[in-house]
Amino acid sequence: MNSVLSVQNLSIEYLARRGRVQAIRNVSFDVQRGEALALIGESGSGKTTLGLGVVQLLPASAQITQGAITYRRDHNGAGAIEIDVLGLRGNGLREFRWKECAMVFQSALNALNPVLRIADQFADTAKAHGYLHGNALRERARHLLTLVRLDPERVWKSFPHELSGGMRQRVLIALSLLLEPQLLILDEPTTALDILTQRNIMDVLKELRGKLDFSLMFISHDLSLAAELADRVATVYAGKVVEVGDVKTIFKSPAHPYTIGLIHAVPTITGTHENLSSIPGSPPDLIDLPSGCKFHPRCPLADHRCTRDEPELEDVSPGHRVACWNWRSAK
């Protein structure tokens, strides 16, 4: 098996006053070595919770009720060592975070310490993990800042508020790669950035993957970003993966009505200008989920079976799986 990360039957709940929020429900997927996997879906579908669960940074109100997360570390070319992520504690968990798997959070301004210069934030990260220091750290940081198209001399001495949103986002990407992780998780990497800055961030990520050869798992509701950066795409709805396949198949021949609805809701800049379609209704209440397929109240293909039984992922074609009773009609 050539996967760097394997998630099996993972379920995550939040404890709220109204009840249990079923944020992630029996989710399984792999991230292959060197590939980019995109998790797409509406806000509130559980994508960020899934990312936080992988790096074990869930809030206190969350609990993992079942499942396994296995990380495979490449041991100097001599084969992979399997690590049970959910069993990690203390120094083992600290070593896994950032050194093996790093996460870039959605808000670049909030993710950086506002009272520390960028140089100090690199130094703190390195010190916490017993990594480089002094001139060696500075040279490594200069190299990474240059790779993300920043002026290292200017940025190194700056406070976060002295940098633009796009610059802060690129600093976070450089910082996340400081310890040379095999897996990088990006949570909405272009949110709140203008279109030109988004383009710059996407170019930087593609360039970094080519040079540093890490695996990428990124979370986005921006389908254009997924289409450009991903090798494979997983559609998440109501805490469950409802479709997964390679990027070309998902965008050319989607099989789940929800994926089809997401794609049709994206405006085109070529051809005839038609009215935008939308998915009717709203995402379900994760405390009080509907019976059967959770998408059936919004689905144009729903029938009695959909309201009664929830489908599991099944093969549509090699590498393409969908959880829908009526996917043949959808296609």
pLDDT grade, residue 113 (50/70/90)?
Answer: very high
Burial of 54 from C-beta contacts in 10 A (0-12 / 13-18 / 19+): buried
198: tokens are: 């988004």
Please give the Cα distance from 218 to 188 (Å, whole number): 7
**Amino acid 278: pLDDT:** 87
What mean pLDDT is predicted for residues 248-255? Answer: 96
* DSSP letter, residue 165: H
Find out whether 320 and 255 touch, Cβ atoms under 8 Å.
yes
Long-range contacts of 151-155 (CB under 8 A, 24+ apart): 155/118
The residue extents of the domains of the chain are 3-237
**Amino acid 190: pLDDT:** 81
pLDDT grade, residue 1 (50/70/90)?
Answer: low
Residue-wise DSSP of 222-257: -HHHHHHH-SEEEEEETTEEEEEEEHHHHHHS--SH
* CATH class for the region spanning 3-237: alpha beta
Which residue blocks in 63-179 are alpha helix, DSSP H? 90-95, 108-111, 118-128, 134-147, 152-156, 165-176
What mean pLDDT is predicted for residues 293-321? Answer: 96
For the chain, strand residue ranges (E) read: 3-16, 19-32, 36-40, 62-74, 80-84, 101-104, 183-187, 215-220, 232-237, 240-246, 314-317, 320-322
What mean pLDDT is predicted for residues 315-326? Answer: 97
Q: Dump pLDDT digits (tens) for 38-77.
A: 999 999 999 999 999 999 999 999 999 999 999 998 766 6
**Amino acid 128: pLDDT:** 86
Would the pLDDT of 141 be above 70?
yes
Q: Dump pLDDT digits (tens) for 73-105.
A: 876 665 678 999 999 999 899 889 989 999 998
CA-based torsion, 289, 295, 300, 303: positive or negative = negative
Residue type, 250: I
